[in-house]
Structure 1
């Protein structure tokens, strides 16, 4: 038994509410269960309840056991002075206010249908992956789609928080924020944090000024990545190294030693040399990139904007001084899809929020055009009969698994509540 189940049955009055009595046998009439507060303080605010002949207005606190009041130190918290009813599953101790008046107790287990308790226990019985894996396909499409939309925007809210932090750090320069986010995503999981620090170590005003010469951008980015530290015979390497130290002096930029970028376990096309060169070429080709990104309404347009390749030198190299068969190393459609999901959509959401613009429908439509992600979580949902056609649906399922299923928040989840209601 968990408190969230008691919150659920109180909020939706899933109990025999016509014959309620306190532990001291006074009749209880619920006029209003109150407003459910998921914050610090009592669980339900501004309830209205008649106990005996007296009508009360105040708060309701819910616990598994009455003694939890003391276990949670509510007796020393003035925020609980206005509790008019203590709803518990098991009454094991009297609870008093600071004026020594006893708080009325409703032991609710005597009024809840046993079948509902069994349904709740069945829902939360450990399964191999998620609690509802055998029932989730029973959920009607209307409920599921509405829940997925809410999950999607919850995920965007979470992703927007670090964006606003970056915005504060960059003096509200959205172009600078975009550069940092793109750098992080070009680094993927392995090099993402290092790429992000590289972008943050170079003032974006310098990126703007030097974007007309891609060699200068590569010199700055490769230099900050620590890829120009050693001496090599390669002419292109020597050129970048010369440019790097010249630009450091020109703009009075500190040479920062960051964590080394990782080549290990990467396919050659994902080597940091290739990804950093592609990033440099993106900013060489597109000045004022943020204005193009913020107005993006179709995935096809994104494929056009991000149709960039690594510099000519990298067509027959993956590392300095090591030639390889010639190959034009362009950003793939699947990689651009990742940029759409992890950079463009969150940035558009944050920007719209910052200017008070409503763009929810546009964001959903945009991700509806992007292919569904492929990973272990999405494959698992697919095996349970929840198939995803696009990235909007996969993003919502990732939010569901990480923020609800993994945390056993079944009674905060529309799927869990629907299954419990149906049973």
Structure 2
């Protein structure tokens, strides 16, 4: 038994409310359960109950046992002086206010249906991947669909916070923020943070000024990422290195030291050299990229915008000094899908929020055009009967797993609440 289950029972009156009595046999009528605060202090604020013939207005505190009042030292906290009802699962000791008046107690276990308790106990299976995995297929489809939309926007709110933080650091430069987000996206999981720090280290004003010459962009990006440190025989490498140090001097920038980029365990097309060259060519070939991305509303136009390739040198190289068979290094549709999910949708959401605009339906529509992601979490949900056809659905499931399932917030989850209600 956990307190959050008792909070759920009280908040939604999931017990026999018509025959309630205190442990001292006084009748209880609930007028208003109060506001659930989830903050320091009593659990429910400004409740209204009738005990016997007296109507009370004040706070409600909830515990597993009455004695938890003293375990938590509430008797020493004046914030609990206005508690009018102590709701417990099991009553084991009387509790008093500072004026020695006894606080009325409702022992809840007498009034909860057996089926409700069994559903809760069945749900909270500690040996499972997620508690409700065996019951997921029984979830109401309409409730699940509504919950997925809420989860999606919760995830967007979380993703947008670093964007607003970065805006503060860049003096509200949306183009500069976009550059950092795209750099992180191009680095994928392995090199994402290194690429992000690389982008942060480069003033976007410099990127903008040098965008007309792709070799200069590559020199700045490769050099800042630490890929021009060694000595090579390759003439292209030597040219980039010369340009890099020239540009450092030109813009009076200091050389930064970042962690080495990783080649290990990457397919060649995801090598940092290829991804950074593609990023440089994107900014070389697409001026005012933020204004274009902020207005994207279809996957087709997104694919067209990101039709870029690595520089000519990289068509027959994956690393400096190592020639390979010729292959055009374009951005694949699956890679652009990741950009939509992790960069375009979050920055569109954040920009609209900063402008006070409502674009929720547009974001859902765009993400519903993107194919469902493939990863271990989504595969696991699929095995339990929750199928995903679009990235909108997979993003919602990732939020569900990471922020609710992993944190045992079943009673704050629409799925958990729906399953407990079923008898």
Give the TM interval when normalised to the shorter protein.
over 0.9
Residues 11-69 of structure 1, C-alpha deviations (whole Å, 9 max, x = no match): 11111112222222222111111122223322112110011221111111111112222
Cα pair 2:34 2:47 within 8 Å, conserved: yes
Give ranges in structure 2 of 5+ residues lacking alignment. Answer: none
1:77 Cα deviation after fit:
3.1
| Counterpart for residue 312 of structure 2 | 312
Match of residue 257 from structure 2:
257
Aligned to 1:86: 86
Paired position in structure 2 for 1:163: 163
Deviation for aligned residue 1:78 = 3.1
Q: How many angstroms does 1:127 deviate by?
A: 4.6
Matches within 5 A, 1:194-343: 194-343=194-343
2:28 maps to which residue? 28
- Decide whether the 8 Å contact of 2:66 with 2:95 is kept in 1: yes
Provide the residue aligned with 2:404 in structure 1.
Answer: 404
1:106-143: CA deviation from partner (whole Å, max 9, x where unpaired): 11111111221111101112353222222211223211
How far residue 413 of structure 1 moved from its aligned partner, in angstroms, is 1.1
> What TM-score, normalized to structure 1?
0.97
Inter-partner Cα distance in structure 2 for 1:179 and 1:105: 59
Give the SS at the match of 2:183.
Answer: helix
Aligned to 2:107: 107
Q: What is the distance in 2 between the residues matched to 1:266 and 1:348?
A: 30
Partner of 2:371: 371
Greater shift, 136-145 or 185-194, is seen at 136-145
CA distance in structure 2 between the aligned counterparts of 1:344 and 1:114, rounded to whole angstroms: 49
Deviation at 1:149, TM superposition (A): 0.5
Aligned match of 1:126: 126
Does the aligned pair in 2 maintain the 1:364–1:392 contact within 8 Å?
Answer: yes
Give the superposition deviation at 1:73. 3.2
Aligned length: 423
What is the CA-CA distance between 1:236 and the residue it aligns to? 0.6
Deviates more, 1:268-277 or 1:411-420: 411-420
Q: Aligned residue for 1:383?
A: 383
SS at match of 1:30: strand
Matches within 5 A, 1:42-53: 42-53=42-53
Structure 1: which 5+ residue stretches go unaligned?
none
Compute the RMSD of aligned alpha carbons. Answer: 1.2
Contact 1:127 1:133 in 2 (8 A): no
* Structure 2 match to 1:71: 71
Q: Which residue of 2 aligns with 1:13?
A: 13
1:322-368 per-position Cα deviation (integer Å, ceiling 9, x unaligned): 10111110110000000100111011111111111101000000000
Choose 97-106 or 251-260, whichever is displaced more. 97-106
Structure 2 CA distance for aligned equivalents of residues 139 and 115 of structure 1? 17
User: Which residue number in structure 2 is paired with residue 147 of structure 1?
Assistant: 147
Instruction: Flag as ranges the 4+ runs of structure 1 deviating above 6 A.
Output: none
Deviation at 1:286, TM superposition (A): 1.1
CA change 1:391–1:110 in 2 (3 A) is same
**Residues 140, 418 of structure 2: 8 Å contact kept:** no
How far residue 406 of structure 1 moved from its aligned partner, in angstroms, is 1.5
